[in-house]
């Protein structure tokens, strides 16, 4: 008997494993696993979402025109070059589908965001990883891996799960040494958190070059992860390509409404940023005091390095026991590391307290 067989590549995909949000039998859980904002969404976004409920029998604006306009205003971008997606994940997948196919290669950094090789493999595209230096993207290593088959180069800046970043100069050097027919995708999901003079999210690079795209998300500082909303800033030719393959109503009406309200609520994102700026250094310092190495992060999470795989697993288990969910980095080839999102003050304190007690028991 014959049965339908998925296309080459599909069954090679190791499915993405998301962070936990619940622990069975525990009522009050502290979730520090998925780099969401601990402050929750803007009240204005919640209201816009609820107000949109009366219109869900109607198709929404398939071009997300008002939302693109408000994103453009907030980030000084041309709305005509913006494409919205159901999360930046969808945009990443669309970019791969639009620009590569079987026999082509997608280049990324070894500890880069895991969705790049997952979507590449699913599309029959070969993912090629370049080595890093001190858990940081290495421009020369990436350039050395460029081949005739390279079609796309993805870089998360800052990177998840390491929290490290490439400065403006290095990013420009990467672009300038890349063939013009290779699309450089700068995934700036955590850009809003970065507080460094030598950082660019990539808007300027997109505007200057025909082969650079920047992707952004509303899942992190904007607090809309469950709504699935992201956007890409593109050269016009790329916008055109994405709009041709995009599902016509890929961003739901309530998501557009909430996204627009979230863009306009600057006070809310300011509060999120202030919280991160206070607690990111605190978390780093207290993890260090417990004897853990912490990779310097410019995002809203840290990567804590344990001496070995077993001690990372034991710490992860002890935290779960204490009702605190972090992320073990096995699927990122960093099994001796835990990624910990910056939480509310009391959540960060509870984490440090639980880890301290765990180490004391050993
Ligand atoms: C670097 C990076 N890019 C993209 C995403 C996907 O975000 P979204 O929720 O917009 O699909 C994430 C989510 O964790 C991320 O860390």
- Probe ligand 1: pick from 36, 41, 154, 219, max atoms within 8 Å of CB? 219
Could you read off the pLDDT of 259-277 as tens digits, one per residue? 999 999 999 999 999 999 9
What CATH number was assigned to the domain covering residues 10-40+267-361?
3.90.1150.10
Q: 141 CA to middle of ligand 1, Å?
A: 24
Q: What is the average pLDDT score of the chain?
A: 96
Residue 35 beta carbon below 6 angstroms from any ligand 1 atom = yes
Residue 121: pLDDT over 80: yes
The predicted pLDDT at position 107 comes to: 98
Tokens of 40: 């929750």
Q: 160 CA to middle of ligand 1, Å?
A: 8
Q: State the closest ligand 1 atom to the C-alpha of 218, by its place in the atom list counted from 1.
A: 10
Q: Which residue has the higher pLDDT, 234 or 22?
A: 234
- For the chain, the residue count is 362
- Probe ligand 1: pick from 88, 108, 185, max atoms within 8 Å of CB? 88
What's the whole-number mean pLDDT along residues 327-345?
A: 96
pLDDT confidence bin for 206, thresholds 50/70/90 = very high
Q: 87 CA to middle of ligand 1, Å?
A: 7
What CATH number was assigned to the domain covering residues 44-265?
3.40.640.10
Provide the percentage of residues in the chain whose pLDDT is more than 90. Answer: 91
Q: State the closest ligand 1 atom to the C-alpha of 34, by its place in the atom list counted from 1.
A: 14
Give the DSSP H/E element, type plus range, for residue 271.
helix 266-289
The predicted pLDDT at position 347 comes to: 98
- What are the boundaries of each domain within the chain? 10-40+267-361, 44-265
Nearest residue by C-alpha to atom 12 in ligand 1: 189
The Cα 208–Cα 172 span in angstroms is: 11
16-30, 49-63, 209-223: lowest mean pLDDT where?
Answer: 16-30
Could you read off the pLDDT of 131-169 as tens digits, one per residue? 999 999 999 999 999 999 999 999 999 999 999 999 999
Tokens of 13: 């995909």
The predicted pLDDT at position 48 comes to: 98
Residue 108 beta carbon below 6 angstroms from any ligand 1 atom = no
The Cα 350–Cα 61 span in angstroms is: 44
Give the DSSP H/E element, type plus range, for residue 238.
helix 236-245
The Cα 21–Cα 325 span in angstroms is: 7
The predicted pLDDT at position 18 comes to: 81
pTM, two decimal places: 0.96
The predicted pLDDT at position 122 comes to: 94
pLDDT confidence bin for 228, thresholds 50/70/90 = very high
24-38, 76-90, 314-328: lowest mean pLDDT where?
Answer: 24-38
Bridge partners of 233? Answer: 82, 214
Bridge partners of 106? Answer: 127, 152
Residue 93 beta carbon below 6 angstroms from any ligand 1 atom = no
Interhelix angle 65-75/253-264, rounded to 10 degrees, is 20
The predicted pLDDT at position 229 comes to: 98
Q: Are 318 and 359 in contact (CB under 8 A)?
A: no
Q: State the closest ligand 1 atom to the C-alpha of 88, by its place in the atom list counted from 1.
A: 10
């Amino acid at each position: 008997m014959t049965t339908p067989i998925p296309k080459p590549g599909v069954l090679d995909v190791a499915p993405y494993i998301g962070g936990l949000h619940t622990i069975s039998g525990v009522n009050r859980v502290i979730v520090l696993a998925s780099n969401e904002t601990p402050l929750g969404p803007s009240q204005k976004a919640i209201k816009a979402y609820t107000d949109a409920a009366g219109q869900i029998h109607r198709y929404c604006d398939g071009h997300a025109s008002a939302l693109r306009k408000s994103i453009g205003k907030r980030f000084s971008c041309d709305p005509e070059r913006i494409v919205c997606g159901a999360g930046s994940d969808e945009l990443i997948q669309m970019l791969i589908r639009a620009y590569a196919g079987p026999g082509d290669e997608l280049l990324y950094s070894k500890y880069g965001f895991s969705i790049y090789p997952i979507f590449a493999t699913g599309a029959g595209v070969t993912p090629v990883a370049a080595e890093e230096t001190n858990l940081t993207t290495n421009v020369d290593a990436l350039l050395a891996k460029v081949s005739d088959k390279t079609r796309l180069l993805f870089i998360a800046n800052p990177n998840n799960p390491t929290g490290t970043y490439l400065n403006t100069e290095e990013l420009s050097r990467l672009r300038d040494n890349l063939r013009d027919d290779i699309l450089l995708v700068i995934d700036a999901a955590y850009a809003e958190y970065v507080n460094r003079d030598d950082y660019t999210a990539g808007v300027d690079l997109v505007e200057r070059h025909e082969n650079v795209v920047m992707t952004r998300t509303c899942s992190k500082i904007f607090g809309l992860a469950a709504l699935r909303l992201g956007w890409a800033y593109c050269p016009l030719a790329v916008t055109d390509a994405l709009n041709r393959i995009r599902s016509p109503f890929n961003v739901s009406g309530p998501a557009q409404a909430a996204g627009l309200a979230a863009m306009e609520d600057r006070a809310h994102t300011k509060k999120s940023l202030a919280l991160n700026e206070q607690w990111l250094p605190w978390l780093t310092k207290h993890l260090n005091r417990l004897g853990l190495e912490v990779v310097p992060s410019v995002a809203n999470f840290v990567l804590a390095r344990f001496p070995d795989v077993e001690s990372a697993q034991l710490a992860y288990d002890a935290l779960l026991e204490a009702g605190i969910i972090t992320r073990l980095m096995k699927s990122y080839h960093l099994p001796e590391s835990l990624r910990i999102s910056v939480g509310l003050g009391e959540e960060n304190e509870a984490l440090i307290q639980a880890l301290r007690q765990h180490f004391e028991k050993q």
